[in-house]
Amino acid sequence: MMNLTIFGTGACLLQRSKMLVPLVLLTLCVITQANGNASVKKFPENFLLGAATSAYQIEGGWNADGKGESVWDYYLHKQPDIVKDFTNGDIAADSYHLYERDVEILKELGAKAYRFSISWTRILPDGTTNFINPHGIAYYSRLIDLLLADNILPLVTLYHWDLPIAFSNNGGWLNETTGDRFGEYARIVFNVFGDKVKHWITVNEPSIHCSFMYEYGIHPPLKKSPGVGFYECGRNLLLAHAKAYHIYDVEFRKNQGGKVGLSLDAEWPIAASDSLDDLEAVKDYLAFSVGQYMDPIFKGDYPERLVNRIAAASRRQGCTSSRLQPFTDKQKAYINGTADFVGINHYFSLYVYRNESVRGYETPSFLGDTELGTFQDPSWPQSAFTRMREYAPGLYCLLMYLKDTYHNPAVYITENGFPMTPAEDLNDDKKAHYLRAYLKAVLDAKADGSNCQGYFFWSLVDGLEWASGLQKYKFGLYQVDYNDPSRKRTARKSALVYKEIIHSGTIDFSYNPDPYGDKCFKNT
């Protein structure tokens, strides 16, 4: 065994093992159980165990009570084939009308917190401050009040991908002024709800958002700009996040006493061998994923290896300058330090490698800049989504990496989940096992010093999974019957398992509840 310091701790080791390919030494990130059996560890009383959703994915009521159009409303009506099953978010789980039931579900679970997002166009129908919709404010006020009445902490996301259509038509996140409008929206939301909401997330998953919009063009506005738009979008989202942070810091923090962060998608990369190329590929993967956003906030600028790799690829492709526009000194100072906590959305791990097959891209692209390939171990338990396989040690190693690389920031796991197929019904045993395994990894990380302060399972109820639609992937702790106009919610086995974990503060892998026989849940 050899220690690899880039993994951030001696507890994450490289273990030589023959897997997948004969005679190839692959690596596993494993947990050193230096602190005993995790099954007897307990979550601290102040650790937030909850669930997460987002507005467009579950609310419905797409034009109810004066709500304006988001890019998803507009494009899915105009081009319904964007979504594989031709569904959309017009009704979804109908949480706009069934929010009381959703809060009741959280209470049934015993959840301590609920992460949800506010729809920008439900508050500002055209995205600007020209008109503030009182019905939108009333809806979120009722939701927040119900949560607080049941001692459920609201963790509120300002932007979860539902950009007002007017801004998309003006360049969207390729236009830096969109961040100015975002700041104006944030100010109104802080002002209206900040006396009750103390945890704010500015932006959800900027990397995936920018990638699907501009690298691959599969999410609205369906614009492909490989290796260019992806970085510009990310840059502008960082500036928008910083703007919202400073608005809160200067205008609201003293009186409201809340915290502001952002949520980043983060897989854990494992070197496919102990070759120098593969070990460097791991470092590059981390630089291009969490580093692209966390380094400017916690270290003052983009990671050096990210800057150098994009510059080198740009020169090779005949560009006169790097495709990654640098921050000015003023912008660096503006972004630096703008997170009271970091939200991490983690679903899976993967192996990374670098060889001649992934070198020398002749046209700009994100993959060409990274010059690395990925794959997964087929023995890892498979979800309904091909790339989402269970490998819980990856979450432990990620938390250790964040601890050691960024001076142990406060972290919330703001998304972690395992999609099942509709055919798997209520007995979602694989999801229940995934939930327990990843929570065990969180306990292990906390025992080894991680400043992880909460965990939010994705998701509370089944929702629209963006371009995959309503029917293919079922992430919910609660099943939603989309063939029933009343959108009946029914607890799955994973919900009962999570309830027991929240109640006991411990993880019991032998607990085997019957979702068809439990009478404590109001399945309506």
Alpha carbon 182 to its chain centroid, in Å, reads: 19
Residue 172 dihedral angles phi and psi, to the nearest 5° = 55, -135
pLDDT value of position 113: 98
* Contact partners, residue 201, CB within 8 Å, separation at least 6: 115, 155, 156, 157, 158, 260, 261, 262, 263, 343, 414
Do the strands 12-14 and 2-3 form a parallel or antiparallel pair, or are they unpaired?
antiparallel
Q: What is the pLDDT of residue 521?
A: 62
Output the CA–CA distances (angstroms, integers) from residue 287 to 348, 370, 518, in the order listed: 18, 9, 46
For the whole prediction, is pTM greater than 0.75?
yes
Active site residues: 205, 415
Tell me the HSE value of 400 on the side-chain side, using a 13 A CA sphere: 26
SS3 334: helix
CB neighbour list of residue 387: distance below 8 Å, 6 or more residues apart: 348, 350, 376
Q: Tens place of pLDDT for every residue, the chain, 524 residues? A: 233 333 333 335 433 233 333 222 233 444 443 333 444 489 999 999 999 999 999 999 999 999 999 999 999 999 999 999 999 999 999 999 999 999 999 999 999 999 999 999 999 999 999 999 999 999 999 999 999 999 999 999 999 999 999 999 899 999 999 999 999 999 999 999 999 999 999 999 999 999 999 999 999 999 999 999 999 999 999 999 999 999 999 999 999 999 999 999 999 999 999 999 999 999 999 999 999 999 999 999 999 999 999 999 999 999 999 999 999 999 999 999 999 999 999 999 999 999 999 998 889 999 999 999 999 999 999 999 999 999 999 999 999 999 999 999 999 999 999 999 988 889 999 999 999 999 999 999 999 999 999 999 999 999 999 999 998 999 999 999 999 999 999 999 999 999 999 999 999 999 999 898 765 566 55
Domain 2-504, second-level architecture: Alpha-Beta Barrel (3.20)
Domain ranges of the chain: 2-504
Closest CA to 263 of 236, 290, 284, 245: 290
pLDDT of residue 425: 85
Query: What is the model's pLDDT at position 206?
Result: 98
pLDDT at 24: 29
DSSP secondary structure, 469-504, as one string? TTTS-B--SEEE-TTSTT--EEE-HHHHHHHHHHHH
- pLDDT tens-place string over residues 234-267: 999 999 999 999 999 999 999 999 999 999 999 9
pLDDT for the residue numbered 1: 28
The widest CA-to-CA distance across the chain, in whole angstroms, is 67
Which residue blocks in 273-420 are alpha helix, DSSP H?
276-286, 292-298, 304-316, 329-335, 366-370, 393-405
Cα angle vertex 173, ends 405, 117, to 5°? 70
What pLDDT does 423 receive?
Answer: 86
**Residue 74 pLDDT:** 98
